[in-house]
Amino acid sequence: MFKIRSLVTALALAGSISMASAWETLPTEAPAPADNATTAEKVELGQMLYHDPRLSSTGTVACASCHNTMLGGEDNRPNSMGVHGQTGGRSAPTVWNAAFNKVQFWDGRAASLEDQAAGPVTNPIEMGMKSWDDVVARLKTIEGYQQAFEKAFGKDAISKDSITKAIAAYERTLITPNSPYDKYAGGDKSALTEQQVRGMEKMAELGCTGCHSGPAFNGAGMFQKFPVMANGYFEAQYHFKKDKGLAEVSKNPADENLWKVPTLRNIALTAPYFHNGSVKTLAQAVTLMAKLQLGKDLPKEDVADIAAFLNGLTGEFPKQNMPALPATPGTTTLN
């Protein structure tokens, strides 16, 4: 994971790169790793696990609590709430199209959806289970899960590995194609308004697409320093530098304030913005990115045009039929 400084060197000039000639549409399917092929049985099981608060110590927090598939794939809070009302310091990233991220979490510490799914369950602030052994033991007492795991993975298959694989398999189905932008890039020139086209062209002209590149507008695994430009006025307001980003994991000062480039897909639905959820509106986020990353003061007209284009990145959400979770008649698995 920490072959990152070489990436950062390459990214130093990213702001000057234009992708105007390479607008890409979002794929409708996500690739799966060789050891976790996507099957209907895994997806069905993964959806149950994803929405089941019994994977938390208190029975109150599920994956869906912070990454809500009935919203923009997160919770619209500055900082998500875990067990016992605790909150962390970061805003929940969207789960929609996360399958197209090459690394997961804001600091990129997980190399896959499977790795990411393993983290929150035993995090004391998030879902609070003491160990994965406790998670496995709890699920083994639920007959419905015994049957679902056998269908997906075979007999006696309940384990940390199979749990995270099932959740990841479900998450790989959470794709939002056919946004107005996708239709425009696919040849329908009426799909975006004139204002949205101006915003798209302005993003390329400014260099925004040097980092927010590719079909998911996420740089395909890129890391970037944020903020690049020092600005005491904005730092006093938003405290962007308080969290050291990748350096919190690597413990290397050279990694301070390095972040995975987040997707711009469905960004109109995922306020508040930035890693700490400190910015309430999309227009203000655009203004700050121009100032802190590119050193530019954008006129209000350009901000409005770019925000309009970003609204055109809201895709079509696959219908979610909420699962019936396996019951425990006459008893409870919770202490």
- Cα 89 to chain centroid distance, Å, stands at 16
* CA–CA dist 192, 185 (Å, integer): 10
Give the start-end residues of each E strand in the chain: 223-225, 258-260
CB 237 within 8 A of CB 283: no
Q: Which two tokens stand for residue 104?
A: 């997961």
Q: Is 126 a catalytic residue?
A: yes
Q: Which residue is associated with the tokens 């929405």?
A: 51
Set 24, 41, 114, 126: catalytic member: 126
CB 17 within 8 A of CB 214: no
- Any idea what DSSP says for residue 279? B
3-class SS at 133?
helix
Q: Which two tokens stand for residue 64?
A: 């869906």
CB 265 within 8 A of CB 313: yes
- Cα 8 to chain centroid distance, Å, stands at 21
Q: Which two tokens stand for residue 29?
A: 């399917």
Which residues are the active-site residues?
126
